[in-house]
Structure 1
Amino acid sequence: MKLYHAHIYPMDREPIENGWVSIQDGKITELGQGEIVPGPEDRDLAGGMLLPGFVDAHTHLGIIENGIGFEGDDCNEASDPFTPQLRAIDGINPMDRCFAEARRRGITAVLSSPGSANACGGQIAAIKTAGRRIDSMLIRTAGVKFALGENPKSVYNDRDETPITRMATAALIREGLAAARRYRSDLAAHEADPENLDAPEFDAKHEALLPLLRGECKAFFHCHRADDMFTALRIAKEFSLDPVLIHGTEGHLIADLLAPEKTGVIIGPLLCDRCKPELNHAELHNGAALHRNGVPIAICTDHPEVPLQYLPLSAAAAVKGGLPYDAALYAITLGAAKLAGIDDRVGSITPGKDADLQCYRQDPLGFLTEPEWVMIDGEIVP
């Protein structure tokens, strides 16, 4: 199948006028420029804008269902402040209507995350937005969710349990990572000398952190305040983690200091009020300041904080705050996929990647705009 007569925005190279894309078995196989001899299955886009599907790098899609209530909220297991063994895929309901709303606005892949009540909330799922069974929608486990700042403090202060300070939250994270590192060392010692050294007793929490310690996935840190952002980086360096900062509300206050760290920031939600003290310095120019200083960014909705279908509108808000238009589009396509750790599969129109595509006749970030059609894995989806 070929899509032709398209204005292609590949995102990993310059736009292609009068371009074409070849798709086979749900994958992009080739793209080029110029006229083709169309076959019966090929599709003439008649000058339409062809983009990769949008990617939201931080949501709670399906794990906090539409019409929030106890029955549909499986996001925070606030009975233990350190729960790396929990997996978001075990709480996501693909029948939630918000999946369809996301698809209709061109969002084809998201990270759906446990919440930020705990110092460690669990494992984040990178998923497609089409499907009825989460196992078939899963791209991979993207990483482990940690949280710093007011959320763990307030949750456990209400329970009169630790952590009720930033110090205790950071200490819990260090304790958990240090214990997992020791567990890894004991496993290695047993494998090297199984006759003389017993294997450590199985521990689900430690096992869940092993891929993180091996550098096979990312450490995602919920942090709004500047000091919390630096605490996240400090912990990441201590344990040789690959960190990503979520929210980064005060990033514009420290953008020059973040730049040398080469750590990405998933900013958002942008279309919200300053509902707690940590958001006191929330500004639309946050993304522009970070981008200007060379800090990699993605833009997120934090769905359902902002409904997922407003991801393009959130990118437009960042443009209003001074972020260049192309950078905003990048921040919800390839930039988001890179920070999510799934850019080998999605985020750009590149041979070998999944055929997650969308076609527009108007500004993709426009408030009144919707895609003409959306494709996931080479199939047009409703």
Structure 2
Amino acid sequence: MKLIKSRKLFDGVDEKENLLIGFEGDEIKYVGSKKPEEERDSEIIQEGDDIVVTPAFIDSHSHIGMVRSGEPGNEEESNEQMNSVYPLVNALHSIYMDDPSFAESVESGVLYSTVLPGSGNIIGGKAVLIRNFVQDIEQAYIMDVGIKAALGYNPRSTMEWKGNRPSTRMGAVAMLRENFIKARKMQALLQKEKKVIDEVEPITEVFMDILSGRFKMMFHVHKEDDIMVLIQLVKEFGIKAIANHCCDVHREEVFVALKASSIPIIYGPMDAFPYKVELKHESWRNAEKLLKSGAKFSVMSDHPVILQRNILYSLRHMLRFGLSKANAISKITKDAAEITGLKNIGQIKPGFKASLVVWNGDPFSLSSHPILVIGEGRTVYDQR
């Protein structure tokens, strides 16, 4: 067993002191104050007076590998322009793992990414969760997260693209409802044995999978009224949804309404420039309303809107409004894993994957940085 001796441990839930973290293979086996007696051959690979350990970070919403560092903008692949409703698109198929941003993220302790299609379409395609620290998409893929959808300005701003496209927000919602109604009717016909599954069109089948709960919907949404539409859709069709962004929300009661509707939030990107009208109320101060609401949320980079390697810095606003350091770190570890559905990652406890970041001081200090990053038991970055 390999051991890391921490002066301080942020385990994804709490802040603790003077603990050993032991892992073997890709799994954490031990967390405790004393060296396990039964592990006589265990080896302490890192210790020191300033050593702080956190779980590896999880970015709940990004376009890393699709919008790639060092490539011209016309080569980015975040939005497929063939149709405004095309859930068969899979973000995994437009990721290049040689994007230099992956290595920068790993150096900063960000080992996992939810990668989504962009928001230029009403239904943009499938979002996937990947490892940042491997060589190709086969090794990177962990799980499907859900189907990307978009409300608000973005899907009505792309009328020059191909396919049937809305010019208004009401048109976008109508097209979305049309597909859900069609899928619901098909479900009824299948139940009555008036249709067989082989007769169902692939796009309708995806909407049926959403209605059945197999897929969550990752909704791009910023403005408060569009969030009310999202809540209405959840009530009408009984779908599982995650609200992504919510940056223009400036009233606490809107976050409360999301909480009451059991819709978690992937919040951000914070520190991005509000470049469009639907962000006219955007402010880092809105985070205070989010915290007061008690809504469940994680934090995103929306890479490259803010660089994924800097996702930790977004949390400083939460600290300003009273969130503890331990709870802040949970927004890019434990809470991020729970919202996206990622199992056995995001906490430092026995049975979880050995994905750890070893820091040379307090992660929230500008002078601190990772000196050792472990990805599922393997050293993926070492600056010791």
TM-score over 0.5 (shorter chain): yes
* Corresponding residue to 2:201 among 200, 203, 224: 203
AA aligned opposite 1:233: I
Counterpart AA for 2:11: P
Tell me the residue number matched to 1:243.
Answer: 241
Q: Name the counterpart of 1:380.
A: 379
Counterpart in 2 of 1:8? 9
User: For 1:14-29, what aligned pairs fall within 5 Å after superposition?
Assistant: 14-29=14-29
322 and 122 in structure 1: CA distance in 2 versus 1, 3 angstrom threshold: same
How far the C-alpha of 1:43 sits from its partner, in A, is 1.9
2:347 maps to 1:358: no
Partner residue of 1:175 out of 174, 178, 185: 178
Deviation at 1:292, TM superposition (A): 1.4
CA distance in 1, matches of 2:215, 2:226: 21
Residues 211-232 of structure 1, C-alpha deviations (whole Å, 9 max, x = no match): 4222233211100100111111
What amino acid sits opposite 2:307 in the alignment? P
**2:212 and 2:67 mapped to 1: Cα distance?**
30
Counterpart CA distance in 1 for 2:45 and 2:179 is 53
Q: Does 1:232 align with 2:234?
A: no
Kept after mapping to 2: 8 A contact 1:288/1:323 = no
Structure 1 residues 272 and 368, CA, compared in 2 at 3 Å: closer, same or farther?
A: farther
Aligned partners of 2:82 and 2:163 also within 8 Å:
no
- Segments of structure 2 that go 5 or more residues without pairing to the other structure are none
Aligned to 1:193: none
What is the CA-CA distance between 1:83 and the residue it aligns to?
A: 0.9
**Partners of 1:62 and 1:30 in 2: how far apart?**
34
The alpha carbon displacement at 1:305 in A equals: 0.8
Measure the CA separation in 2 of the matches of 1:86 and 1:165.
23
* SS state at 1:155 partner: coil
Q: Does 1:166 align with 2:169?
A: yes
The SS at the match of 1:207 is: helix
Out of 204, 209, 212, the residue aligned to residue 210 of structure 2 is 212
Contact 1:3 1:20 in 2 (8 A): yes
Preserved CA contact (<8 Å) 2:243 2:266: yes
Name the CA distance, whole Å, in 2 between partners of 1:109 and 1:176.
32
Q: Residue type of the partner of 1:376?
A: G
Does the C-alpha gap of structure 1 residues 90 and 158 become closer, same or farther in structure 2, counting only changes over 3 Å?
Answer: closer
Residues 255-274 of structure 1, C-alpha deviation per residue, up to 9 Å, x if partnerless?
34334233221111111212
The residue number in structure 1 matching 2:31 is 31
Gaps of 5+ in 1: 191-195
**What percent identity do the matched residue pairs reach?**
27
Q: Which AA in structure 1 matches 2:378?
A: E
Q: Could you list the per-position Cα deviations for residues 192-249 of structure 1 after superposition, in whole angstroms to 9, with x for gaps in the alignment?
A: xxxx854442422123334422223321110010011111121122221111111101
Letter aligned with residue 103 of structure 1 = V
What is the letter of the counterpart of residue 222 of structure 1? H
CA 1:34–1:249 in structure 2 vs 1: closer, same or farther (change >3 Å)?
Answer: same
User: What's the C-alpha RMSD, in Å, of the aligned pairs?
Assistant: 2.3
- Whichever residue aligns with residue 41 of structure 2, its letter is G
Q: Which has the larger displacement, 221-230 or 34-43? A: 34-43
CA distance in 2 between partners of 1:36 and 1:240 (Å): 49
Residues 249, 282 of structure 2: 8 Å contact kept? no
Give SS of 1:274's match: coil
Quote the Cα distance in structure 2 between the aligned partners of 1:292 and 1:335. Answer: 17
Per the alignment, residue 48 of structure 2 pairs with: 46
Match of 2:330 in 1: 330
